């Protein structure tokens, strides 16, 4: 979960490389205060407050609550906002607030990961992150100079979870909340599990340091794991099992051990799914949910938090999704990711046309938000922003693309006949998630060239003919596979891929790239990939065995796509049963994977059927 650290790591970099002009302006026009704000149960939370020195207008309050540190510490040491778009809020005379959440860094109390929302608070000892937000707002309104009584909250990734909790706080001053790449459901699709499959690489790299107990308030970040090799594929394969990985972690990291004790989607996980509580967002709190099409950590959370709010709440709720990696709308120009270009500085467009006007409108009564529609979505392929009155858009047609023998992919259903395509899934030689040797999980894998995988015998490839017109996809994708396996469990990874023409190359009109030349002719761009742990095909709470050799339907949803497959391109689907070391290996038996031994991992013969009776297909939301 490397990218989730960027709040903490970026500050150190930005503090060194300061823009002199804005740095001087900020220090001249703002004063920084460090205070402990008391909560209702007596616990005090460390808070950095940046207040305007002089203002001719009353100032709104904008909060970010974080488990990653409000560093740098010290009233005379400013956070380098002048290197970020947040400087615009200072120029608008906002009171900017950052807070170490309960039990993290310099705050008092006990930290709990994704602390569940408590909708039955009765005493001052009944606390959650929403009540901590409420108490923080109460204190700020009484103790900051010249505030206008309006409060907003924002946050990216884990701070996005706290922004959701802020929206739930029900304080009348909370006018606008923006959960961005929000941690929403750590079992169904965010960070550490996707459809029950354990996202091992992110979880281990993150929790080895983040999860360490903090006996007392500190300004020091805990040390990470010292990997014995730079090759993560080799490290995790050599480590072998989840039991052996746990031996590296030790017994002191509570949430890691909790995950092992809850291998299925039980009440413990459901209490940590914020979608279950969004009905408590007041009508008077507007929400702006922001996410990235290529967010390796919390792509699921952005799409699905927005949908849950739409379904359950009655507030003004809007969605923004751009062509970004995790948090890149706040730290990068957003002109490209990996080898794929987007034609413009998409992050700057978002900052100037959506986020800043949004908070100005709700917190200052300034301007209007008529240009911020219900859903503001960037479509890759065409590289254009589109705006809709709903998401998925009206007019989407669920269109099946059927898998055929010899690797064909068409909109024609299969006819009678016993046909299937098979491969052998070998846990000893799992399919890598990316091509090359990597020390950390890459963010670029979300758009990486998949030619390396297409060449493997344990990856099935199905492909359309060259498209004769543009194909626009807008919404979630459904994989509907009919499979038989020779064992009692297996994983299924489905990838939706845009195959560029053989003569394709970028030019100046496609915008800046990453400065590295890469052969994009015939490029197989992953548009969306997702894994399903087969045992959860009928529900994440109840693992079910496969009957070896019996044809079984495996149907699951991939996160939304907003992409145009251009005329002259081809649509490809790849299917495989491992995605390593991004996801842990399935022993391919219905056993507790956290307790599996090395000899429990066995080969499985996977057959994907394409017959009239068992017609495997990918269902795409086609926008005409």
Give mean pLDDT, residues 29-41: 98
Total domains in the chain come to 2
Three-class SS of residue 13? helix
**Residue 366 counted as domain residue:** no
Q: For residue range 150-180, what is the model confidence (pLDDT) as tens digits? A: 999 999 999 999 999 999 999 999 999 999 9
- Assess whether 285 and 431 both reside in one domain: no
Residue 605 forms beta bridges with which residues? 424
Q: What is the pLDDT of residue 542?
A: 93
5 pLDDT tier (thresholds 50, 70, 90) = very low
Residues 6 or more apart in contact with residue 555 via CB below 8 angstroms: 478, 479, 480, 481, 537
**Residue 585 counted as domain residue:** yes
CB 482 within 8 A of CB 606: no
56 pLDDT tier (thresholds 50, 70, 90) = confident
14 pLDDT tier (thresholds 50, 70, 90) = very low
CB 327 within 8 A of CB 157: yes
DSSP states of 325-352: STTTTTTS--SEETTEE-SS-HHHHHII
- Assess whether 413 and 285 both reside in one domain: no
Q: In what helix (H) or strand (E) does residue 141 lie, and over which residues does it extend?
A: helix 129-143
Q: At what angle do helices 200-210 and 242-249 cross, to 10 degrees?
A: 20
Angle at 170 between CA 169 and CA 171, to 5 degrees: 95
20 pLDDT tier (thresholds 50, 70, 90) = low
- Assess whether 400 and 285 both reside in one domain: no
30 pLDDT tier (thresholds 50, 70, 90) = very high
pLDDT at 17 over 90: no
Tell me the two tokens of residue 243: 């039991």
pLDDT at 571 over 60: yes
Three-class SS of residue 156? strand
Residue 200 CB-half CA count within 13 A = 27
pLDDT at 15 over 50: no
* CATH number for 37: 3.40.50.1820
Give mean pLDDT, residues 19-48: 94
Q: For residue range 322-336, what is the model confidence (pLDDT) as tens digits? A: 999 999 999 999 999
Q: What is the pLDDT of residue 12?
A: 41
**Residue 236 counted as domain residue:** no
416 pLDDT tier (thresholds 50, 70, 90) = confident
**Residue 146 counted as domain residue:** yes
Q: Express as a percent the part of the chain with pLDDT over 90.
A: 93
CB 171 within 8 A of CB 134: yes
**Residue 277 counted as domain residue:** yes
**Residue 34 counted as domain residue:** yes
Q: Specify the pairing of strand 340-341 against strand 286-292.
A: unpaired
Residue 289 forms beta bridges with which residues? 319
Q: What is the mean pLDDT of the chain?
A: 95
Q: Where are the beta strands (DSSP E) in 443-488?
A: 460-463, 471-485
DSSP states of 40-54: TTS-EEEEEEEEESS
Q: For residue range 111-147, what is the model confidence (pLDDT) as tens digits? A: 999 999 999 999 999 999 999 999 999 999 999 999 9
Q: What is the pLDDT of residue 203?
A: 97
CB 363 within 8 A of CB 176: yes
**Residue 256 counted as domain residue:** no
Q: Which of 575, 3, 491 is nearest to 294 (CA)?
A: 3
- Assess whether 403 and 536 both reside in one domain: yes
- C-alpha 106/C-alpha 279 separation (Å) is 32
Q: What is the pLDDT of residue 19?
A: 54
CB 287 within 8 A of CB 178: yes
Q: What is the pLDDT of residue 66?
A: 98
pTM across the whole model = 0.96
Domain boundary residue, one of 289, 317, 334: 289
Residue 523: domain span: 396-504+517-623
Domain boundary residue, one of 239, 261, 289: 289
- Assess whether 402 and 546 both reside in one domain: yes
Q: For residue range 295-346, what is the model confidence (pLDDT) as tens digits? A: 999 999 999 999 999 999 999 999 999 999 999 999 999 999 999 999 999 9
- Assess whether 149 and 278 both reside in one domain: yes
Q: What is the pLDDT of residue 180?
A: 98
Q: What is the pLDDT of residue 6?
A: 42
Own/partner pairs, 381-387, CB within 8 angstroms, 24+ separation:
381/498, 381/563, 381/564, 381/565, 381/566, 381/569, 382/470, 382/472, 382/564, 382/566, 383/323, 383/341, 383/342, 383/343, 383/344, 383/510, 383/511, 385/346, 385/349, 386/562
pLDDT at 551 over 60: yes
**Residue 380 counted as domain residue:** no
Tell me the two tokens of residue 226: 């010292």
Three-class SS of residue 291? strand
240: left (phi over 0), alpha (psi -120 to 50) or beta: left
Q: Express as a percent the part of the chain with pLDDT over 70.
A: 97
Q: For residue range 600-617, what is the model confidence (pLDDT) as tens digits? A: 999 999 999 999 999 999
Angle at 477 between CA 474 and CA 482, to 5 degrees: 155
Give mean pLDDT, residues 264-273: 98
CB 398 within 8 A of CB 384: no
* CATH number for 539: 2.60.120.260
Distances 235 to 329, 357, 577, 578 between C-alpha atoms, Å:
32, 47, 20, 16
Q: Which residues of 361-378 are buried (b: 16+ CB within 10 A; e: fewer)?
A: bbbbeeeebeebbbbbbb
Q: What is the pLDDT of residue 54?
A: 86
- Assess whether 423 and 281 both reside in one domain: no
Handedness of CA 455, 460, 465, 467 (dihedral sign): negative
Q: What is the pLDDT of residue 408?
A: 97
Burial class (CB in 10 A: 0-12, 13-18, 19+), 299: buried
Domain boundary residue, one of 257, 289, 321: 289
Q: Which of 40, 154, 156, 54 is nearest to 102 (CA)?
A: 40
């Amino acid at each position: 979960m490397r990218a989730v650290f960027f709040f903490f790591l970026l500050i150190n970099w930005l503090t060194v490389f300061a823009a002199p002009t804005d740095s001087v302006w900020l220090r001249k026009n703002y004063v920084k205060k460090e205070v402990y704000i008391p909560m209702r149960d007596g616990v005090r939370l460390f808070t950095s407050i940046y207040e305007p020195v002089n203002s001719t207008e009353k100032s709104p309050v904008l909060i970010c609550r974080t488990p990653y540190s409000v560093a740098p510490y010290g009233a005379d040491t400013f956070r380098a906002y002048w290197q970020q778009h947040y400087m615009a809020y200072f120029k608008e005379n906002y009171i900017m607030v950052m807070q170490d959440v309960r039990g993290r860094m310099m705050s008092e109390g006990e930290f709990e990961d994704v602390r569940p929302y408590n909708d039955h608070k009765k005493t001052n000892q009944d606390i959650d992150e929403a009540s901590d937000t409420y108490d923080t707002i109460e204190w700020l309104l009484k103790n900051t100079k010249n505030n206008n009584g309006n409060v907003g909250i924002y946050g990216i990734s884990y701070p996005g979870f706290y922004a959701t909790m802020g929206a739930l706080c029900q304080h009348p001053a909370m006018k606008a909340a923006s959960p961005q790449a929000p941690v929403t459901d750590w079992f169904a699709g965010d960070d550490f599990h996707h459809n029950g499959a354990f996202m091992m690489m992110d979880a281990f790299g993150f929790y080895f340091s983040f999860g360490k107990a903090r006996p007392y308030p500190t300004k020091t970040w805990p040390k990470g794991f010292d990997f014995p090799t730079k090759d993560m594929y080799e490290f995790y394969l050599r480590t072998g099992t989840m039991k052996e990985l746990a031996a590296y972690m030790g017994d002191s990291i509570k949430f890691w051990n909790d995950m092992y004790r809850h291998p299925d989607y039980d009440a413990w996980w459901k209490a940590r799914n914020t979608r279950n509580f969004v009905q408590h967002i007041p009508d008077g709190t507007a929400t702006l949910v922001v996410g990235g099409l290529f967010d390796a950590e919390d792509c699921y959370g952005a799409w699905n938090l927005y949908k849950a709010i739409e379904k359950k709440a009655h507030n003004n709720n809007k969605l923004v999704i751009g062509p970004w990696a995790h948090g890149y709308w706040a730290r990068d120009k957003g002109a490209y990711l990996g080898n794929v270009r987007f034609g413009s500085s998409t992050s700057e467009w978002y900052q100037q046309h959506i986020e800043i006007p949004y908070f100005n409108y709700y917190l200052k009564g300034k301007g209007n938000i008529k240009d911020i529609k219900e859903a503001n979505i960037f479509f890759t392929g065409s590289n254009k922003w589109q705006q809709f009155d709903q998401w998925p858009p009206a007019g989407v047609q669920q269109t099946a693309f059927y898998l055929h023998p010899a690797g064909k992919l068409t909109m024609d259903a299969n006819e009678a006949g016993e046909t299937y395509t098979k491969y052998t899934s070998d846990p000893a030689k799992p399919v890598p998630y990316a091509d090359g040797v990597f020390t950390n999980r890459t963010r670029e894998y979300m758009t990486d060239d998949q030619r390396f995988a297409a060449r493997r015998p344990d990856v099935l490839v199905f492909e359309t003919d060259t498209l004769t017109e543009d194909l626009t996809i807008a919404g979630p994708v459904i994989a509907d596979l009919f499979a038989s396996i020779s064992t009692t469990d297996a994983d299924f990874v489905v990838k939706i891929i845009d195959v560029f023409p053989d003569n394709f190359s970028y030019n100046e009109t496609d915008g800046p790239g990453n400065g590295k030349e890469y052969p994009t002719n015939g490029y197989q761009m992953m548009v969306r990939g997702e894994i399903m742990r087969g045992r959860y095909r009928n529900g994440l709470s109840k693992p079910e065995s496969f009957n070896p050799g019996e044809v079984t339907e495996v149907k699951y949803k991939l996160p939304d796509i907003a992409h145009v497959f251009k005329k002259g391109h081809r649509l490809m689907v790849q299917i495989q049963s491992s995605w390593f070391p991004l996801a842990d290996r399935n022993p391919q038996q219905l056993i507790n994977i956290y307790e599996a031994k090395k000899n429990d991992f066995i080969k499985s013969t996977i057959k994907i059927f394409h017959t009239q009776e068992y017609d495997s297909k990918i269902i795409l939301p086609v926008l005409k």
